[in-house]
Structure 1
Amino acid sequence: MSVFKARRVIDQIRGRSYEETLMILELMPYRASYPILKLVYSAAANASNNMGLNEANLFISKAEVNGSAIMKKLRPRARGRSYMIKKPLVI
Structure 2
Amino acid sequence: MAKKKKEEVIENKPLRDEAVAIVRNAGVTPRKARLVIDLVRGKTLVEAYDILNNLNKAASPIVLKLIKSAEANAVNNFKMDPESLYIKTIYAGDGAKLKRYLPRAKGSASGLVKRLCNITVIISSKGAN
TM-score interval, normalised by the smaller of the two chains: 0.7 to 0.9
Does residue 66 (structure 1) correspond to residue 79 (structure 2)? The answer is no
CA RMSD in angstroms comes to 2.5
More strand by share: 2
What is the distance in 1 between the residues matched to 2:57 and 2:112?
29
**Against the structure 1 CA distance between its residues 8 and 85, is the aligned structure 2 distance closer, same or farther, given a 3 Å change threshold?**
closer
More helix by share: 1
Quote the sequence identity (%). Answer: 36
Residue in 2 aligned with 1:31?
A: 58
Instruction: Please list every run of 5 or more consecutive structure 1 residues that lacks an aligned counterpart in the other structure.
Output: 71-83
**Against the structure 1 CA distance between its residues 35 and 55, is the aligned structure 2 distance closer, same or farther, given a 3 Å change threshold?**
same
Residue in 2 aligned with 1:48?
A: 75
Does residue 3 (structure 1) correspond to residue 30 (structure 2)? The answer is yes
Kindly name which structure, 1 or 2, has the bigger radius of gyration based on alpha carbons: 2
Q: Which has the higher contact order (CA 8 A, sep 6+)?
A: 2
- Give the TM-score, by structure 2 length: 0.54
- Give the TM-score, by structure 1 length: 0.75
What is the distance in 2 between the residues matched to 1:9 and 1:89?
15
Q: Paired residues, what number?
A: 80
